């Protein structure tokens, strides 16, 4: 058995682990006119903490993560989560636009 399989907790889709967080992410994406398939949202739970990772861009190569207490109802964490989603969705939109222009430029040759 490889070390990777034994040491890393498994990723699970955000929409199954925390549907209310996924709904918040969907709202942020809708505001920026992005589709649900533009971002992969996963969660890794590790004891009392969870790490939310959002992947986007060409082949989902760009990634931003937020580690927080699994109970985000604590004071300040809900706003931190909302800000994380907002900033990541804006970065995703910029990355998609940049990838598009790079693709179009490469076709001009």
Encode pLDDT of 10-36 as tens digits. Answer: 899 999 999 999 999 999 999 999 999
Beta carbons of 40 and 29 less than 8 angstroms apart? no
In order of their start, the domains of the chain are 3-108 (3.30.160)
pTM of the predicted structure, to 2 decimals: 0.82
Residue 74: the pLDDT is 63
Binning the chain into helix, strand and coil, the percentages to the nearest 5 are 55, 25, 20
Query: In angstroms, rounded to a whole number, what is the distance separating the alpha carbons of residues 58 and 109?
Result: 21
């Amino acid at each position: 058995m490889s070390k990777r399989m034994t040491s890393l907790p498994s990723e699970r889709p955000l929409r199954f682990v925390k549907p209310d967080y996924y709904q918040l992410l969907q709202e942020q994406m809708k505001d920026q006119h992005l589709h649900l398939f533009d971002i992969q949202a996963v969660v890794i739970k590790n004891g009392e903490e969870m790490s939310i990772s959002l992947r986007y861009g060409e082949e989902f190569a760009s990634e931003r993560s937020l580690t927080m207490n699994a109970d985000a109802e604590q004071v300040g964490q809900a706003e931190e989560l909302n800000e994380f989603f907002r900033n990541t969705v804006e970065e995703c939109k910029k990355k998609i636009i940049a990838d598009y222009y790079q693709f179009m430029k490469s076709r001009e040759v």
